[in-house]
Amino acid sequence: MSAENDEDEPLTGSSSPSIEKTQRMPWVGLGLFLGALAVFLGGNTGLLQFSTGSGACKETTCGGFPSEKQPYVSRSLSGKVTKVLVTGGAGFIASHFALMLVDHGGYNVTVVDDLSRGSIETVLRLQALAKAAGQPLHFEEIDVARQYEMEHLLKSRGIELVVHFSGNAYVGESMVRPEDYFQNITVSTVALLRAMGAAGVDRLIFSSSCATFGAPTEFPITEQTPQRPTNPYGAAKLQAEQAIIAQVKAQQRLGKPFSAALLRYFNVIGADPRGRIGPHLKFEANKLYPRIVDAAYDVALGLRPELRVMGSHFPTKDGSAARDYIHVTDLVDAHVKLMAALRGNELLYYNVGNGAPYTVLEIVEVVKKVTGRPLPYTLTEERPGDPPALFSDPTKIKTEIGWAPRYADIHAMVRHGWEWRIKHYNPASPAPSVDPLEHSGPSFNETTDDVPPLGDNPRIAIIGAGPTGLCAAYRLTELGYTNWQLVEATPKASGLACTIVDESKFAWDIGVHCLFSHFEFFDALLDRMLPPEDWLYHQRYSPARMRGVWVGYPVQANLWRLPEAEVMGIVKDLAQKEAQPPPPKPRDFRQWLHAGFGEKLTESFMAPYNAKVWAHPADEMNSIWVGERVATIKFEDILSNVIRRKDAPAWGPNAQFRYPINGTGMIWEKVFSQLPKENTRLNARVTAVRTVPGSKALELQDGSRVPFDGLLSTMPLPLLLRSLPDAPHLAALADGDNGAADHSRFKHQTCNVFGVGIEGSAIPEILNGVHWVYFPEDEFIFYRVTVLSNFSPRMVPKPYNQWSLLVEVSESKHRVVPKSRKKLRGMVKDGLIRSGMMPADATIVTMWDMRLEYGYPVPYVERNMHVHEADHELRKLGIWSRGRFGSWKYEVGNQDHSCMLGIDAVDSMLFGGNGAGREATFNSPNKVNVQYRKYDYDFEPASLARDAGRKHTFAVPPVRLKKLPQWDWVAYRCDGQDSWTNSVRGGMVKQPTPTKWLIHSYEGCGAAGVKRPMPEMLREGLNHLDRIPFGTSGTSPPAAAWARHIVAHYTKLPNLLIFVPAGPDKQSALFWATGISSARSTAPDFGAYASAAPTDMPAELLSNFCTSLWPLIKQARGFDRPCPERVVGLGGADTAYYVAAERIKAVPLAVWQQLLALLTGGDTALATAKGLAYSWHIFFGEKTMLKPPLVHPHLPRGDRK
């Protein structure tokens, strides 16, 4: 909370104040405190009796001070202090005080505010000013009333003196919500005094108020004027004064030093004369209870229709009320001087004002003169109890500490405030927020985008042949648009998604490139580039190695594998976190980690691992990137897993991923090959981007030029900003000190990638089934090691007889690594051996390495603010900067995102956006990451242009992607073999039409948890086998697996499902290339394979069938018929079915869910499964199995097809 002003002038701003209430302390606590305070002050309960004016008895005391004038004493200002804590430092007055300390230099300032009224923008401005001045300024978001947190802070920061500004400061509001004022002024002050006492801090300056004087009858107001508050604000301030006075006296009696100064402010206005900071006016209370000058500024800016001045018959020169005004800079100067005056047990108290009152109407005229704008006002009735005048006699403070105002002229006060207001709060041209969190949203949308669109048939240039540039080019190609050119600096397309083959023929991706998708277009593109047989499907297994053990991913859900003492510490910390109120909204990634995972878990794994991978501290990173990238937790789940010593299931968007058989570079090389040769150029390095209107062009190293109207650049953003000779001012948008080679403000991690190729098939057993391993501990220089040979057999020159490891080492100014490649290689090799990733006697065939200056774009706190500012300026020049380092948004930096960034940019250039909006991938990462964007396979380019109001020429026919059909094979397995999956692959790759497939094997005896050695792992990947845990006892009937799959995938079923019995015969016609395809020629959406013909359901099963299954069939089929006396079906254990998704979806999901419950429901499950064996066909939409085209033998006579 922050003190914003000190006395309301007679003015109304709103007739119906309503501010959301924030409770900080139970009512009972408040009552106990006030009662205790009354007793403590010797029963002087008159302090709580608000005077209403003339009828009050004249007091003969003035708070805790003598009523008679005391002689002035010249104070020595020789006291020394350096470590100062400022409460309410995000508010108006306190922030100016902190700035003055920065300007003076030599102070170590700690600013505290809970931001309930204070502005984080003010704090950020202070921090920037302190950094520029080379002065320390630390901020903590804490409620001063939290005594023990304040005590810890005071101790940890070594505080010597506290200047206490915090507390709400609106008289009118205090009459509506008095409890808030006693809480955040009086109670907070007492809590602060206790914290100071416990921490041994013995000097305090308190921000009091002239409101403690109430409505005095004699003027000017002196330090001897009786304190008779007329409102809860003044009463709360007076109570806080009394508590401080009592503390000084109590410490004096104990022979301990404690000194304090109490300053009673009058009306504080103005702003920093140099325009660096000023009042922040975005809180609702500023609108409801404005200071008169702020309200006058509102009228001048058109935010209020007029001023309503309350009172026109006061005994003043013009009938309006008169008040004393002081410039905020003069006020805080008094505080700075007082810091040197405090010593021993001195208690100082001063009124701080100019002593020259101005009426409200005089202020109106000053504001009119300063702003040069009309200021209409209306005179209204005065408020009951409003005194005609309030002004001070500042003689005492001037005499005793030599204070004198520098800005006593009222015109200077108003001018400084107006200059700040017009610069930062002008509704006609509002200044952008300096708060990075205010930039967390989109850079632009259809409504806010003020960049002029490109014209018809624009010339489009693309820099870079990585996923972003290639997808943009492909989009132009599929539209049939030909007025474009792509240039790539290197001799090969694919960018950071490349696959490099070294001299020993080992293949290396330069990073972990597991493919998963949020976009139907991306999936269709991959399917077009590579046939189904060229893909491997993997179930990710990526543990962390820490404390000498392997902990499954995500670590936060598998804590039980850590040492017991560490686990107990984490669980205790999480339990305590669960019992606490939610913390404030996190401002950085470290705060997000602590809020979500607690202190112990954060320090155990989350912080150290992220520090290694990003090579930047968590408090320099934002948390808006997290989304689907970091698994959140539930305490009850963690506790359950710890108690049961159970691993959590795989998590994340890449829990299953696909991988091209020859590495990811294969995809993008194929995309490049599909583009028109006349529109692409390799070995074409850009040296400059010319942006003069009418002659925009890329200048290439060979001296040639590529003209453009619209440019999509995928080069790193800071390099682009420095490549614009016709717009040199944009280079300043890259200026900064990230400590990297580009010396920019755009923070990134440099990645050192090492590939270790090893001879032999004796891969360490611990690497069975492993895709990559995280290394959070500093014991190892690398943060991740990928077993790349487990991705595809073709990543090594001798498949199954060699293996390979891909190692990543991060680097930045925060994480320095040896410059010697030889030394770094040695550290990598040593770490691999010590971690068990590689035997000490391994035969290393190759050790390849590459240093990527741009490894990861770090989502640093100010990232969006910097990126969006640059984006706006670039797009005004017709330049779109997109891609992993063009957009600088890690959360949309995977291959699917990078591709769609290019698609969206092209659609924005040509059509002003697409069905997802205006560049949704760039602007709304968190939205696109929780959706699966559909693709229009039937788009019409001319219609798109016409709907956008454009007249483009599409010179060639469109090239539309096609959606491949997909078959899902669903099986149950316990102890049986799964070699039949080889037969599935054999049949699927020979389908007459390319068809995708997946095999879902529900494994009921714990087999899914067994990690396979490399050959088995690769076989499963090649066969597209997905092994799904389905219990460990093997008691669930196979039919339950089929029902489970239908329920789990109901909304995303593929074209065809094949339900396979347990232990199928791999010679069955079911797996033949022409088996199902041939059967579907006569029965396209349903069929069965069996060894025996349909038979009657045994009588002993019929009763259970009628009671359990027939009710579901009636729901499924939508009729109300009695259970039949006879059911004919394929009851054999080896029966298989193929069923179109439409048939399954014809049955409501609720029916399938009930069926699954019956099959997993205990004693009746087996009987239900037996009855279901004769009636699956009914659930699949067939009345009878007797039709010859529907039933096929597993092993037909004659030759195998």
Known catalytic residues? 209, 233, 237
The residues, any chain, with a CB within 8 Å of residue 1088's CB and separated by 6 or more, are 1130, 1135, 1136, 1137, 1138, 1177, 1185, 1190, 1191, 1192
CA distance 837 to 1080: 49
Identify the helix (H) or strand (E) that includes residue 1022: helix 1014-1022
The residues, any chain, with a CB within 8 Å of residue 1119's CB and separated by 6 or more, are none
The residues, any chain, with a CB within 8 Å of residue 942's CB and separated by 6 or more, are 954
Q: Report whether 612 contacts 810 (CB < 8 A).
A: yes
CA distance 882 to 713: 6
Residue for token pair 């194929």: 670
The residues, any chain, with a CB within 8 Å of residue 749's CB and separated by 6 or more, are 613, 614, 615, 616, 810, 811, 812, 855, 856, 858
Q: Where are the alpha helices (DSSP H) in 700-742?
A: 717-721
DSSP 187: I
**Residue 1161 half-sphere exposure, CB side, CA atoms within 13 Å?**
13
Give ∠ CA 722-728-732 in degrees, rounded to 5: 65
CA distance 725 to 688: 7
Structure tokens at 609: 């691992």
DSSP secondary structure string, 313-336?
Answer: -SSSSSSS-EEEEEEHHHHHHHHH
Give ∠ CA 1086-1091-1096 in degrees, rounded to 5: 75
> Angle 1149-1159/1110-1117 helices, nearest 10 degrees?
170
CA distance 1011 to 768: 5
Residue for token pair 């059967």: 1079
Phi, psi of 851 (to 5 degrees): -105, 120
Give ∠ CA 1185-1187-1191 in degrees, rounded to 5: 65
Q: Looking at this protein, which amino acid is placed at residue 216?
A: P
**Residue 963 half-sphere exposure, CB side, CA atoms within 13 Å?**
13
Give ∠ CA 425-429-431 in degrees, rounded to 5: 55
CA distance 847 to 825: 8
Please choose, from the candidates 892, 512, 677, 733, the residue with its C-alpha nearest in 3D space to the C-alpha of residue 902.
Answer: 892
Please choose, from the candidates 566, 378, 509, the residue with its C-alpha nearest in 3D space to the C-alpha of residue 772.
Answer: 509
Structure tokens at 1115: 């729901």
The residues, any chain, with a CB within 8 Å of residue 750's CB and separated by 6 or more, are 615, 740, 741, 810, 811, 812, 851, 852, 853, 854, 855
Residue for token pair 């339990």: 575
Task: Tell me if residue 216 falls in helix, strand or coil.
Answer: coil
Please choose, from the candidates 970, 969, 1027, 1039, the residue with its C-alpha nearest in 3D space to the C-alpha of residue 1003.
Answer: 1027
Give ∠ CA 395-398-400 in degrees, rounded to 5: 100
Structure tokens at 927: 């939205």
Please choose, from the candidates 895, 892, 805, 795, the residue with its C-alpha nearest in 3D space to the C-alpha of residue 536.
Answer: 795
DSSP secondary structure string, 535-549?
Answer: EEEEE----EEETTE
